[in-house]
Amino acid sequence: MRRQHFLVVAAALGAWVGYANPWGQFPLAALTLPAGLAALGLDAESPWAAFKRAWVAGTLTALGCLYWVYWPVRRYGGVHWLLALPMPVLLAMIMAVYFGLFGMVAQVAGKRLPPLQALPCLGLAWTIMELAMATLLSGFPWLTLSATFIRWPITTQLAAYIGGHGLSGVLALIATGVALAPRSRACAVTSLATALLVCGLGWLRIQSYSESTPPRTVAIIQGNIDQGLKWDPSYQQRTVAKYVSLSRRALANNPELIVWSETSMPFYFQDDTALRAPVLDFLRSTNASLVLGSPAYKVNPAGPPTLFNRVFLLSGSGAAPRWYDKEHLVPFGEYMPFAEWLPFQKLVSGIGDFAPGRNETRLAAGGFVLGALICYEAIFAGLAQDRVSQGANLLVNVSNDAWFGDTSAPPQHLQLAALRAIEQGRWMVRGTNTGISAFIDPLGRIKEAGPQFADVAAVGQVHLRTEPTLFHRLYWALLAATGGLAALFAYLVRNARQ
């Protein structure tokens, strides 16, 4: 019993230290999560016992990594702290179901398969678990294991070949090899060999990295607008003036593209109003293109207008604006599921529920073909895949992480976004309201544009790339192969001697 308690605590503590946080991150510690969950499953006397133990460890893990959910619910949802406090607990308990199922797989595979067969089975199970997290119930792949290693680029380059979730499975295999080592020295050797292979491939990719296109200059404007004031009508003019002023400061470096944050303009920019005029006046003074965020609407003669979370691409040449409407919306932030049953309001005040966008026009200007990812769209591998399939030569992630204050959420969000740059072999420009704004290269290396909670006008250079990664080319084949391998291991487990 004492060993079980130790494994539960070790898995959770390792995850708390291994996942991004404001106090100090050590990526390798995150591997204690799959190792601990596997050990709990291997020690359990039944699949149900394995599920319960892994679920407890998973609940503690998710609570420590996702505690920040309390902050926006309490501060911006108008919820009393006694009602807001259970929100991250409930989310953690739901997320822990996935970890509980992983523990159950470890128990069954450990009992029925030889250790060297159980090892790849567990690595595959972790990948499938993360894919389920990214898909079911709108998807929330926030706890992607491979994202924790973004700080060590040599360990993450395999994502360009098998994707972030595939890399997570390989990392889980390395960790569970340690858990299986007492049963089989071959598992320990396999774990070590796999770790060396991951680092070796990473080193080769980093050493062979080069650019074949000229650098393009891009500016990121971080407006640092207080979320509590953002939608206040009396503050809108000052918001516009601040973004324009910071952008003029960046013009000294002759940027070809300027990126403002998600809903940087907290009004309907599509309407010809006095609030829009200073932005258009600024554009006429420069040759740069401008990306900005704003709510938008479409008139419906038979009912209320349909609202969208939109990104505009504007050109100083006077060309017609292009736009992208967010496709994957945030529950409780941009629309309210089960609104009649919940004791708090939608977190985005000042506007109604958004509708998912249906986009047909590319964001293209001056040689840039932008793959727009609004806010937490950057945590979904499939959305970045779609943007590059549509011709994007630069990924642009605009976000507003002011919701989360000085918590673990902004650095976690940044590291998840960096995975998309590696998977797709594209530079990413990440413009946010309060940080963390950044330039990210195709190796996932992050150059932060400035400190959080500060006014920033940062200028950097990117390269426009068109060559697809192996992951991009084989995206659907990799998913099919994952399903095929899952069926194979299920067959082996079913027909193995008990």
Q: Calculate the alpha carbon distances from 381 to 206, 376, 412, 466 in Å.
A: 22, 11, 15, 18
Q: What is d(CA 217, CA 215) in angstroms, rounded to the nearest whole number?
A: 7
Dihedral sign (CA 227, 228, 233, 236): negative
Can 375 be counted among the known catalytic residues? yes
Question: What are the residues facing 259 on neighbouring strands?
Answer: 220, 291
Question: What are the residues facing 258 on neighbouring strands?
Answer: 219, 290
Q: How far is CA 253 from the centre of its chain?
A: 30
For every residue of 343-367, DSSP letters joined together read SS--SSTTS--B------S-EEETT
Q: Calculate the alpha carbon distances from 354 to 45, 294, 307, 330, 351 in Å.
A: 48, 12, 5, 9, 8
Q: Are 422 and 156 in contact (CB under 8 A)?
A: yes
**Surface-to-core class of residue 457, CB atoms within 10 Å of its CB (0-12 exposed, 13-18 middle, 19+ buried):** buried
Q: Are 418 and 144 in contact (CB under 8 A)?
A: no
What region, left, alpha or beta, does residue 455 occupy, with left being phi > 0 and alpha being psi -120 to 50 degrees? beta
Residue type, 110: G
Q: Which of 130, 187, 375, 423 is catalytic?
A: 375
Q: Which of 256, 326, 334, 377 is catalytic?
A: 326
Q: Which of 65, 187, 256, 262 is catalytic?
A: 262
Can 262 be counted among the known catalytic residues? yes
Can 326 be counted among the known catalytic residues? yes
Q: Which of 169, 103, 97 is nearest to 137 (CA)?
A: 97
For the annotated catalytic residues, the residue numbers are 262, 326, 375
